[in-house]
Amino acid sequence: MALLEVSNLDVRFALRQGEVKALRDVSFTLDRGERLGIVGESGAGKSVAAFTILNLIARPGYIAGGSIRFDDRELTTMKPRQLQQIRGNKISMIFQDPMMTLNPVLTIGEQMVECLKAHRRIRTRAAREIALNKLRQVHIPSPEKRLDQYPHELSGGMRQRIIIAIALLLDPDIIVADEPTTALDVTIQAEIMSLLLELCEKHNVALVLITHDLGVVSQVTQRTLVMYAGRVIEQGPTREIINDAQHPYTQGLINALPQMATPGSRLNQIPGAMPTLAKIPPGCAFHPRCSFAFNDDGSPRRDCREVIPGFVRSGNCDVACHMVRDLVENDSDARDPVEIQEAP
């Protein structure tokens, strides 16, 4: 049984322009110790997905349907008191901007001790010991000194390490990281991602990594979800998605990277832009931008414009695309599930 099971999640926002569907029919699972990446551009709904796991969605957002089961307990119907025992304790979260996450008027030690005391009956001295331990685990030099320092006295990279330490304080089962390195320099980003990977592997902590950076996802995660306009459009083993993406959007996203183009030539761009969640096209949300949404004779496909594609299995991946479904059904380009060699 999976550690986290999200099924048919529907999250909506009641705004004055009308109701906006931020997440539509999102489903995924997470096993113990597994590292999952959620990839998408801004407005795709990946942050909403992250916040919903911890039921942090506040008015005017609300969960309109679906279920989130953690350790076989239903989170969507839980009382706030019970949820509080899970948040920070079993499932903890890392946010994007380390300066915003840390309270500027409290020392690091005070914040960490407060976090521990909120969930355990523990004396301050013992709490400080645990905090010190965690700071050592995230390789912070001279941790005793750091406990009495304020956030503004530390660099961005160090702050993010401390945030990871705080996330680990109560030995959670899952860490949800929402764009943890977007605000950091590339050398610091490499350190932080390496640290996160090391800690998750060592302590068997599951990781949900939300990012727009496919390179980061490739380095750290085992499985990946690709989101577009509030829906999951492709999911599967990370290696397969990157090497052999099947959904036209994923292919377009990878091909648009400068890494993939010949230097000096034009980049392969996807025409248009992701629709705003208030105005999602009917049928497949990607169809206005998709070069495959046409029949052989050049006319636009009716199913792409009218019917939301369901998932179809191709290889080890689940893809929500009418064209891929046709290929699989015709068996012309079907992929058999292959053994994925995990990196040692």
Partner 1 sequence: MTTTTQASPVPSRWARFRDSYLVYSFKRDLVAQVCLATFVAMVLAAVLAPWLAPMNPYDLAQIDIMASELPPFWIDGSDPTYVLGTDAQGRDLLSTILYGARVSLIIGFGAVILQAMLGVTFGLLAGYLGGRVDAFLMRLADIQLSFSTLMVAIIVGAVIKASFGGAIYSEYAVIILVLIIGLAEWPQYARTVRASVLAERSKEYVDAARVMGFRAKRIMFRHILPNTLSPIFVISTVQIANAIISEAALSFLGLGMPETQPSLGSLIKSGFDYLQSGSWWITLIPGAVLVVLVLVINLLGDWLRDVMNPRLYKG
Partner 2 sequence: MTQVKARSAPQAASAQAGDTLVEIRNLEKHFPLSGDFLEQLRFKGGKLVRRQEFVHAINGVDIDVRRGESLCVVGESGCGKSTVARMVMGLLRPSGGEIRYDGERIDHLSPRQLLPYRRRMQMIFQNPYASLNPRMTIQQTLEEPLRFHHPDWKTPQIRDKVAEVMDSVGIDPEWGRRFGHEFSGGQRQRIAIARALAVDPEFIVADEPISALDVSIQAQVLNLLMDAQETHHLTYLFITHDLAVVEHFGTRVVVMYLGRVCEVAETRTLFSTPRHPYTQALLSAIPRLEDDRPDYIRLSGEVPTPVNLPSGCVFHGRCPHANERCRREVPELIAAEGTRVACHGVEEGRL
Interface with partner 2 (CB under 8 A), residue from 23, 209, 274, 328? 274
Nearest CA to 11 out of 51, 69, 39, 70 is that of 51
CB of 299 to partner 2, least distance (A): 26
CB of 240 to partner 2, least distance (A): 13
- What is the distance, to the nearest Å, from the Cα of residue 78 to the centroid of all Cα atoms in its chain? 23
CB of 16 to partner 1, least distance (A): 6
Quick check: 17 binds partner 2 (CB under 8 A)?
Answer: no
- Contacts by 153-158, CB closer than 8 A, 24 or more apart: 154/108, 156/98, 156/99, 156/183, 156/184, 156/185, 156/188, 157/184, 157/185, 157/188, 157/191, 157/192
Interface with partner 2 (CB under 8 A), residue from 14, 99, 260, 338? 260
CB of 273 to partner 1, least distance (A): 6
Q: Measure the CA–CA gap between 277 and 275, rounded to whole angstroms.
A: 6
Q: Measure the CA–CA gap between 197 and 127, rounded to whole angstroms.
A: 25
Q: Measure the CA–CA gap between 124 and 269, rounded to whole angstroms.
A: 56
Cα angle 310-314-318, degrees, rounded to a multiple of 5? 45
Adjacent-strand bridge partners of 92: 175
Q: Per the structure block, which two tokens stand in for 63?
A: 């969960």
158 versus 327: smaller Cβ distance to partner 2? 158
Quick check: 259 binds partner 2 (CB under 8 A)?
Answer: yes
Quick check: 121 binds partner 1 (CB under 8 A)?
Answer: no
Say which residue the tokens 């931008």 belong to. 289
CB of 224 to partner 1, least distance (A): 27
Interface with partner 2 (CB under 8 A), residue from 104, 186, 202, 330? 186
Radius of gyration of the chain (CA): 21
Q: How many residues bind partner 1 (CB under 8 A)?
A: 4
Neighbours of 129 (CB within 10 A): 12
330 versus 341: smaller Cβ distance to partner 2? 341
Of these partners, partner 1, partner 2, none, which one is at the site of residue 16 (CB under 5 to 8 Å by kind)?
A: partner 1
213 versus 326: smaller Cβ distance to partner 2? 213
Quick check: 270 binds partner 2 (CB under 8 A)?
Answer: yes
77 versus 291: smaller Cβ distance to partner 1? 291
- Contacts by 286-289, CB closer than 8 A, 24 or more apart: 286/228, 286/229, 286/233, 286/248, 286/249, 289/249, 289/252
Interface with partner 2 (CB under 8 A), residue from 15, 19, 42, 77? 42
- 218 burial level (CB within 10 Å; 0-12, 13-18, 19+): middle
27 versus 219: smaller Cβ distance to partner 2? 219
Site string for partner 1, 265-304 (x = CB under 8 A): ------xxx-------------------------------
272 versus 300: smaller Cβ distance to partner 1? 272
List binders of partner 2 among 85-144 (CB under 8 A).
none
List binders of partner 1 among 4-33 (CB under 8 A).
16
Site string for partner 2, 199-238 (x = CB under 8 A): -------------xxxxx-xxx------------------
Neighbours of 204 (CB within 10 A): 10
Nearest CA to 225 out of 305, 336, 320 is that of 320
CB of 149 to partner 1, least distance (A): 28
Q: Measure the CA–CA gap between 49 and 23, rounded to whole angstroms.
A: 7
Helix, strand, coil % in the chain, rounded to nearest 5: 35, 25, 40
Residues interacting with partner 2, by CB under 8 A? Answer: 41-42, 155-158, 185-191, 193-194, 197, 212-216, 218-220, 239, 242, 252-254, 256-264, 266-270, 273-274, 343
Residues interacting with partner 1, by CB under 8 A? Answer: 16, 271-273
